[in-house]
Each structure stands twice: as C-alpha cells, then as structure tokens.
C-alpha cells in the first residue's frame, strides 16, 4: 500500500466510526428552545393585554373628562362599559397566558428541561402587569379619576 491509499483508508475509517459524545445534547437544546419560545409567547400576550388595559382605561378617563367639561351634556354609559370590558378582557387574557405558560413549562420540565433554562423575568413581568390591570379595573369601578 502506498501513502495515498493509507490516507484514504484512514479517512474512510473516520467517516465510518461514530463519534461518541458523552451525552446527546439535541433533546436538551430542543427543550430550551421550546421554553424560550414559550417565554416569547407570554411576552406577546403581555403586550396585547397591556394594550387592552391602556385603551380601556383611556376610554373611561377621556369620556369622564368630557363629561366634566360639559356639564350640560349627558354622556351615554356605553364608553364607560366598553372601557371596563376592555380592561376585563385584558385581565382574563393575561391570566390565561400565565396559566398556559406555567403548564407548558411544567410539561417541558418533566421531559428534562435543564433547571437554569427557564427565566423568571417574563412571568414576573406578567404578575406586575396583572396587578396594574386589577388596579386600573378597581379605579374605574370606584370612580377614581385622575
């Protein structure tokens, strides 16, 4: 065998041999990507519920302001009800997104998600925003105006 044949046979051996890694990292990597995707979905729902909160609260404040400026005009209760409905929908949407996120993370953890892969920041942000949404709802109900 000449030198060229030896190199070819060693290359073929390298191709045919399976590289043994200590652990297959494809599954944990896929689980981490899924957890990050779940956090991204939660953040999207947070953004949506924040829009609903602010729009509903703004509607009620705007029509309250108009009502105070023109005392001789009687305003309908429709905008007030719409604002309350939007804030309520925002609260419900955020609660549902938080529950879905927690259930999804529990399911992924059962499949072997590394403990340090999930972040608390999106869920903590959701809790803070939920508190703000409930405060906005309470302020509308008790007629506390800015």
Question: Contact, 137 vs 87, CB < 8 A?
Answer: yes
The CATH number that applies at residue 111 is 1.10.132
Instruction: Tell me whether residue 103 is in a domain.
Output: yes
Q: What is the pLDDT of residues 72-112, one digit of tens each?
A: 777 777 888 899 999 999 999 999 999 999 998 888 888 88
pLDDT of residue 42: 92
Domain span including residue 72:
32-141
Q: What is the pLDDT of residues 34-53, one digit of tens each?
A: 888 888 999 999 999 999 99
Pairs from 41-48 (Cβ < 8 Å, separation ≥ 24): 41/97, 41/101, 42/97, 42/98, 42/101, 42/122, 42/123, 42/126, 43/122, 43/125, 45/93, 45/94, 45/96, 45/97, 45/126, 46/94, 46/97, 46/122, 46/125, 46/126, 46/129, 48/90, 48/93
What is the separation, in whole angstroms, between the first and last Cα of the chain?
Answer: 92
Instruction: Tell me whether residue 23 is in a domain.
Output: no
Instruction: Tell me whether residue 54 is in a domain.
Output: yes
Instruction: Tell me whether residue 65 is in a domain.
Output: yes
Statement: residue 114 has pLDDT above 80: no
Instruction: Tell me whether residue 5 is in a domain.
Output: no
Instruction: Tell me whether residue 90 is in a domain.
Output: yes
Our count of domains for the chain comes to 1
Q: pLDDT averaged over the chain?
A: 81
More confident residue, 5 or 121: 121
Statement: residue 4 has pLDDT above 70: no
Distance (Å, rounded) from C-alpha 113 to C-alpha 98?
19
Instruction: Tell me whether residue 97 is in a domain.
Output: yes
Confidence band, pLDDT 50/70/90 cuts, at residue 33: confident
Question: How big is the chain, counted in residues?
Answer: 146
Confidence band, pLDDT 50/70/90 cuts, at residue 126: very high
Instruction: Tell me whether residue 60 is in a domain.
Output: yes
């Amino acid at each position: 065998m000449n030198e060229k044949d030896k190199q070819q046979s060693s290359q073929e051996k390298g191709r045919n041999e399976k590289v043994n890694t200590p652990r297959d990292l494809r599954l944990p990597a896929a689980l981490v990507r899924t957890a990050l995707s779940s956090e991204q979905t939660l953040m999207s729902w947070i953004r949506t519920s924040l829009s609903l909160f602010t729009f509903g609260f703004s509607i009620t404040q705007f029509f309250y302001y108009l009502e105070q400026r023109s005392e001789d005009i009687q305003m309908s209760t429709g905008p007030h009800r719409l604002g309350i409905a939007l804030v309520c929908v925002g609260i419900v949407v955020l609660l549902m997104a938080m529950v879905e996120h927690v259930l999804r993370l529990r399911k992924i953890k059962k499949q072997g998600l590394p403990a340090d892969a999930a972040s608390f920041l999106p869920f903590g942000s959701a809790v803070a925003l939920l508190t703000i949404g409930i405060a906005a709802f309470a302020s509308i109900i008790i007629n506390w105006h800015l």
